[in-house]
Amino acid sequence: MRGPHLVYFADPMCSWCWGFSPVIEAIEREFGEDLPVRLVLGGLRPGHEVAMTAADRADIRQHWTHVHEASGQPFDFGFFERERFVYDTEPASRAVVAARRDGMANALAMLARIQRAFYAENRDVTARGELAALAAEQGMAPELFEARFEAPDVSEETWRDFAITQQAGVRGFPALIAGAGDGREYALVTSGFQPAARIVPALAAWRGALGQAG
């Protein structure tokens, strides 16, 4: 991308990314088109086929508790009453990529909607029907979503995002990096959750420094 921009590595079924969702919204409110956000799907557990164990549930529940305490984001802990849930993050990621065909703003909105559905509404976002319903809420016609969701090129694009994340050396989510454009190096904004009160002023200072340098 040309000019100052951000690259956001996230997964729709990453609890810390759900905690970071208000931060992304705050960045969009503060900077708008002056600091566009490019979303790259991280691939937390794509293609996972094994149902969660009791130990998995305990570990994830602990993460959710920590995210709620740090961010204030709501969680529906009824999720842990499900039996034999397979925590596969690829379908939700592919749904976001399908929305991204209509622009990055649509992708970010779809990401946020899937996150809320999964974490705060206890909806199964590994199910195509649920994802189609969420896409419809975002204004995408059901037949268009179905066609995109099943399209080989959308699947390939999703897995390409996962590969980009690995090649970039990102090992945890959320991760946010800032680019000045024109081939200049990227700078790490955060690897892991930070509140908007820290992120937004840091970005404002970075953009101010870019202006002085220019």
Encode pLDDT of 176-195 as tens digits: 999 987 777 899 999 999 99
Best CA proximity match to 181, nearest among 142, 135, 214:
214
Q: What is the DSSP letter of 53?
A: P
pLDDT of the residue at 212: 60
Q: Are 93 and 161 in contact (CB under 8 A)?
A: yes
Q: For 85-111, write each residue's pLDDT tens digit.
A: 999 999 999 999 999 999 999 999 999
Query: Which tens digit of pLDDT belongs to each residue from 132-142?
Result: 999 999 999 99
Mean pLDDT of 164-178: 95
Kindly indicate the confidence band of residue 213, based on its pLDDT and cuts at 50, 70 and 90.
low
Class of CATH domain 5-213: alpha beta
Residue 28 has, within 13 A of its CA and on its CB side, a CA count of 16
The whole-number average pLDDT for the span 19-31 is 98
60 in Cβ contact with 66 (< 8 Å): no
pLDDT of residue 214 exceeding 60:
no
**Hey, where are the domains in the chain?**
5-213
pLDDT at 9: 98
CA distance 100 to 102: 5
pLDDT at 170 over 70: yes
pLDDT band for position 1 (50/70/90)?
A: low
Of all helices (H) and strands (E), which one includes residue 181?
none
Percent of all residues in the chain with a pLDDT value above 90, rounded to a whole number: 92
